[in-house]
Chains A and B, each alone.
Chain A
């Protein structure tokens, strides 16, 4: 069965510090990968999505970047965190290609607080 791992679960970082959140998927190959952010009491905002190694699409211009060094690994980074980067970050994957259900499977999320 497929599983998605996301870590760390919680993180408190000072303003101006770097960030690296990692997500890995097991049990599937060539997945689409996504990073979402959820602000307190709000919906999920798509930040990045990737259809393959090294292929990253950015949805929202911001202080963050993403990389996909391996097929089932997706990393969210920042060189200098801002207070506005605080939120709940979620990694997700879906089956790539073909016609069918596009169910997205989410990780457990990372609660980031920038202080």
Chain B
């Protein structure tokens, strides 16, 4: 199964709050889990990524939490800012063989000032 399930579909957060987006996968062959940020009319851009050998990765205000046994991973945006308003996609792929990313359905985040 190649599916990656993402929730919520949309999220409204006040400025300074924490935004949390969750994803779950089924294919245990996946070993690379990136998050992409997409602004309207633009292509997605890599935000942060994690591998199964660590349970958490932090880059600035963005943190990925990874639970291998539950096959779940999540994105936390601390101190959310209006400039973070965008659509966020989780994805998964394998490092060998078929490397194409399988994407979640996306979360539209709106940070209110």
Contacts and interface: CB of A to CB of B under 8 A. Distances in A.
Q: Do A and B bind each other?
A: yes
Interface of A: 6, 32, 34, 36, 41-46, 49, 59, 90, 92, 94, 99-109, 111
Contacts of A105: 46
Given A44-B101, A44-B103, A90-B43, 11 more contacts: A32-B99, A34-B101, A43-B104, A43-B105, A49-B98, A49-B100, A102-B93, A102-B95, A104-B34, A106-B45, A109-B41
Chain B, interface residues (CB within 8 Å), range: 20 to 34
A114 to B, nearest CB: 18
19 contacts: A34-B100, A36-B103, A43-B6, A44-B89, A44-B103, A46-B101, A49-B98, A90-B43, A92-B43, A101-B32, A101-B49, A102-B32, A102-B99, A102-B101, A103-B34, A105-B46, A106-B44, A107-B43, A108-B42
- Give the top 10 A-B pairs by smallest Cβ distance, nearest first: A106-B43, A43-B105, A44-B103, A43-B103, A49-B100, A102-B99, A109-B43, A43-B106, A108-B43, A106-B44
